[in-house]
Chains A and B, each alone.
Chain A
Amino acid sequence: MKKTICILIYFFAPLVMMAQDKSVSLINKIKLDSAYIYGEVTHYTCEEASSQAREQLKRSIKEWIEVKTKAPCTMTLNPLVVLADSIVTKRANMIRYFSYIKKSDLMPILNRAGVMMDVDKLAPDTIPIYSQTVQNEQSVLKQILSAKSFHQLKGIIEPLYQHGYIKSYGKYANMRDPSKCYLIIYSPDGDIRAFLGKGTSNRKNLITGMNDSEHNYSGCGAIWFQLNY
């Protein structure tokens, strides 16, 4: 028994240390890779660290755009920051929040400066593992409704599309048949404001159950999607 415990301690302690180092190594690898832009802050709370890291990332993106375009950057940067990924680690009594984005992910937006991002080209970095059992309409909707931010949508919609549960999706401006399309309304900061059911002038808010409409969300963006049912 004592021998078994010794083996376990000897084996797992270095593994724990290696796991903690792995995040730091990944952060350093991204920092050394000129294909990425990043923002990084260490703060007492995760909330404050993430908020400031995103501000830092915005400033870095602005700087990069201004160098790239040789002109002042006046476009809204919040939708770009929503595309960013993050790594969170501990530093003594504080939280380190590292927010990063690939420059190539920004290129479509650069080409259309001043326009909201091209959501038709969303591509998740990782595809969540979904069960292979067939999912019904309600369970698919339930997954989509679990998203709290535009950034989370990326990882939910694309796999469902690839598995054939979502027939098609796109930006509001490209919506052809509103009566067949659900809508996801999001704020300029990337927060999801509403999920609306299919319809033309009147839709059902899928969370509150009340009548609603995309026209009630002035200043927000929207994505439509059609299910394959």
Chain B
Amino acid sequence: MKRIIFLLVAVVSAFVFSSNVWSQGRVSLRINDGIGNVQLKFKIEESVSILMSEINRAEASNRSLELIGINMTQEARQQLRMLWDNVHFFCEENEVVERCLQTNRGYQIRNIPLIMKPVGERQDNVEYQEAVISFSKNGVITGFNLTLSMNMYSKVMQNTVEISDIRRRMEILDYVEYFRTSYNRKDIAFLKQVFSEDALIITGKVIKVRPSEVFPSGTKITYRKQTKQQYLTNLANAFKRTRYIHVTFDDIKIVAHPTKSDVYGVTVHQTWNASNYSDEGYVFMIWDFTNEYEPKIHVRTWQPDYLDKAKGQRMNPNDVFTLSDFSL
């Protein structure tokens, strides 16, 4: 009798356990709002479910992604593969429920939960990130990027009084997300295209000085100018030296240029984590949307977050570069 009970418990538990493990590979997306066309809704749900399930299977088997046959553009496949070369990820939730947002070019599903596992890193060195999947108007996947947080996204979409055009706000956020993910993909080709030929790149660096009235903390920031070519050459070398690069943006602020209608100042707080280096700082960019299908960055500056991290001395946020520091 005892043996029968033991066997029964073992079989039932093994069944529950294995069904849990099996179902962890499969992801199902359900859209709860935002799209009236039922057929299109099902198409998008199915595409994302198939894609995320394949991502989970590839991560579990530590293999490359098999994206042929999945309803996505060739460009989206290429971008996703580039990202996969640097970092693997998976979705640990069997069911994801999200709204579908309408964009200028189609639709978006945001907040896809991912567990990131940089290639070559320790298996317990995992991090949480969220992805945004973009779709054309007929439901084909056109992009897979890592997101700004939903809270930041909706804060900018709802509260940005400086930019009255909601469509333009969404466009700017989309490009900032794409720009951020391009570092994670080590996508030099995109970065070469997005920076204008005469782009100005400024990098700040903290140096120690004798404490004085002007520099009471005993530190000051010096600035170094680079051309686009110099910056991209250095970046390409950095990409070659590192196994993975993980860039996150938070605390985004977007301001319209007072006189030039398609020009915007974008400030983000950036955290840069690479296999051999990490830092935190403020990145300020001047984006030009004159050609909204190929916006350009004319200025990119970086300033460190801390003057003295050991003492917890942060840079004054009022010292971060703004549009008024540059004349275009």
> Could you tell me which A residues sit within 8 Å of B by CB distance?
3, 6-7, 10-11, 13-14, 17-18, 21, 24-25, 27-28, 31-32, 34, 40-43, 52-53, 55-56, 59, 63, 91-94
Given that A91-B113, A93-B126 are contacting pairs, would A14 and B20 also be in contact in the complex, using a CB cutoff of 8 Å? yes
The 9 closest A-B CB pairs, nearest first, are A92-B128, A14-B16, A31-B97, A10-B13, A52-B151, A94-B128, A14-B17, A28-B97, A91-B128
- Neighbouring A residues of B113 by C-beta, 8 Å: 42, 91
Would you give the 0/1 interface string for B20-33, flagging 1 where the beta carbon is closer than 8 Å to chain A? Answer: 10000000001011
Whether B150 and A92, one on each chain, are in contact in the complex, defined by CB atoms closer than 8 angstroms, is no
Whether A93 and B158, one on each chain, are in contact in the complex, defined by CB atoms closer than 8 angstroms, is no
Give Cα A46 to B9, complex, Å: 38
- Neighbouring B residues of A63 by C-beta, 8 Å: 158
Closest to A52 in B: B151
- Neighbouring A residues of B93 by C-beta, 8 Å: 24
Give Cα A12 to B313, complex, Å: 49
Is B130 engaged at the interface, CB distance under 8 Å to the other chain?
yes
Whether B130 and A42, one on each chain, are in contact in the complex, defined by CB atoms closer than 8 angstroms, is yes
- Neighbouring A residues of B14 by C-beta, 8 Å: 10
Whether A13 and B9, one on each chain, are in contact in the complex, defined by CB atoms closer than 8 angstroms, is no
Whether A56 and B97, one on each chain, are in contact in the complex, defined by CB atoms closer than 8 angstroms, is no
Distance (whole angstroms) from the CB of A43 to the closest CB of chain B: 8
Would you give the 0/1 interface string for B129-152, flagging 1 where the beta carbon is closer than 8 Å to chain A? Answer: 010000000000000000001110
Distance (whole angstroms) from the CB of A16 to the closest CB of chain B: 10
Contact of B151 among A17, A24, A34, A41 (CB under 8 A): A41
Closest to A49 in B: B151
Closest to A90 in B: B128
Contact of B20 among A17, A28, A31, A34 (CB under 8 A): A17
- Neighbouring A residues of B98 by C-beta, 8 Å: 31
Give Cα A173 to B213, complex, Å: 57
Give Cα A41 to B150, complex, Å: 7
Distance (whole angstroms) from the CB of A152 to the closest CB of chain B: 25
* B1-26, CB < 8 A from A: 6, 9-10, 13-14, 16-17, 20
Whether A55 and B151, one on each chain, are in contact in the complex, defined by CB atoms closer than 8 angstroms, is yes
Whether B151 and A32, one on each chain, are in contact in the complex, defined by CB atoms closer than 8 angstroms, is no
Distance (whole angstroms) from the CB of B137 to the closest CB of chain A: 24
- Neighbouring B residues of A59 by C-beta, 8 Å: 154-155, 158
Given that A14-B13, A17-B20 are contacting pairs, would A41 and B149 also be in contact in the complex, using a CB cutoff of 8 Å? yes
Is B95 engaged at the interface, CB distance under 8 Å to the other chain?
yes
- Jot down 24 A-B pairs with beta carbons below 8 A, ordered by A: A7-B9, A7-B10, A10-B9, A10-B17, A14-B20, A17-B16, A18-B20, A21-B94, A24-B95, A28-B30, A28-B96, A31-B32, A32-B30, A34-B32, A40-B111, A40-B150, A41-B151, A42-B113, A55-B151, A56-B150, A56-B151, A59-B154, A91-B128, A92-B127
